[in-house]
Amino acid sequence: ALKGVIFDLDGVLTDTAEDHYQAWQALADAHGLTFDREANHALKGVDRAGSLRLILEQTGKAVEPPKFEAMLAEKNATYVARLRGYSPANLFAGVERLFAALRAAGLKIGLASASRNARDVVARLGIADAFDFIADAGAVTHPKPAPDIFLACADGMGLSPDQCIGVEDARAGITAIHAAGMVAIGIGSEEALPDADIHVPAIGDLTLGQILSAEQETAA
């Protein structure tokens, strides 16, 4: 039976996905790299170094390790500066209502974000205490699409993977949830997330009822 729901952060609970994009775009523009909003889709859910590798590949450019590290730091500085404006007003509509419904149903709530800034973001959003466990992106060996962070989160909540369901807005994240043996709820269109088990346009549209029935339909 379902015991816990594990959420991605960026693009699921708040619009930081846009800030990540803007920070990558600024880096790309400053260094003459090929990048645009379309190319950014492939970066969603991908960790910092993996994202830069993808951008460099697209441009067909290689950089030495010190330069690579400096570029990562530059992107993060831009991103962190954008986070300074974040407050509870940046929490997507409906998150608090959904969390309250999950709690009332006796379900645990976990966070499985690839972001090293995740703790700072949830603190700014005022939801740091809402989670039974926050998985540490820096502590897992393999980033999404590997299942590691979702498995670590289930484990941290004292649950087995088959007792959990995952919520994601990125293809890499949906793949990670399935690899962890969990049902995957996609925030976005079927076109954007073809592998998700169910789709809702935004987190505010997701109900406890949908979560429970998604679990039952896919449980063999």
Identify which of residues 51 and 108 has a Cβ nearer to ligand BG6 in the complex: 51
Assign 187 to helix, strand or coil.
strand
Q: Binding residue for Mg ion (CB under 5 A) from 148, 169, 197, 215? A: 169
Q: 């703790």: which residue's tokens? A: 119
Q: Is the Cβ–Cβ distance between 110 and 153 less than 8 Å?
A: yes
164 binding partner (options Mg ion, ligand BG6, none; Cβ < 5 to 8 Å by kind): none
Query: CB of residue 53 vs Mg ion: minimum separation in angstroms?
Result: 18
Cβ proximity to ligand BG6: between 102 and 111 the closer is 111
Minimum Å gap between C-beta 24 and ligand BG6 is 8
Report the b/e string of 131-157 with b at 16+ CB within 10 A: bbbbbbbeebeebbbbbbbbbbbbebb
Q: 172 near 145, Cβ under 8 Å?
A: yes
Q: How many angstroms separate the CA atoms of 209 and 48, rounded? A: 35
Query: Binding residue for Mg ion (CB under 5 A) from 5, 7, 11, 102?
Result: 11
Binding residues (CB under 6 A) for ligand BG6: these are 9-10, 17, 20, 43-48, 51, 76, 113-117, 170
Residue nearest to Mg ion (CB): 11
**Interaction partner, residue 47 (ligand BG6, Mg ion, none; CB < 5-8 Å by kind):** ligand BG6
CA 206 to chain centre: 16
Q: Could you tell me which residues come within 8 angstroms of residue 153 by beta carbon, excluding any fewer than 6 positions away?
A: 6, 110, 111, 112, 133, 134, 135, 164
What is the full DSSP assignment across 26-53? HHHHHHT----HHHHGGGTT--HHHHHH
DSSP label at residue 92: P
With binding defined as CB under 5 A, does residue 8 bind Mg ion? yes
Least distance from C-beta 72 to ligand BG6, angstroms?
8
Indicate whether 19 belongs to the interface with Mg ion (CB under 5 A).
no
Q: Is residue 146 a known part of a binding site?
A: no
98: annotated binding-site residue? no
Does 47 help bind Mg ion (rule: CB under 5 A)?
Answer: no
- Decide whether 10 or 215 has the Cβ nearer to Mg ion: 10
**155 an active-site residue?**
no
**15 carries an active-site annotation:** no
Residues flagged as binding site for substrate: 8-10, 24, 43-48, 51, 75, 113-117, 144
Tell me the catalytic residues.
8, 10
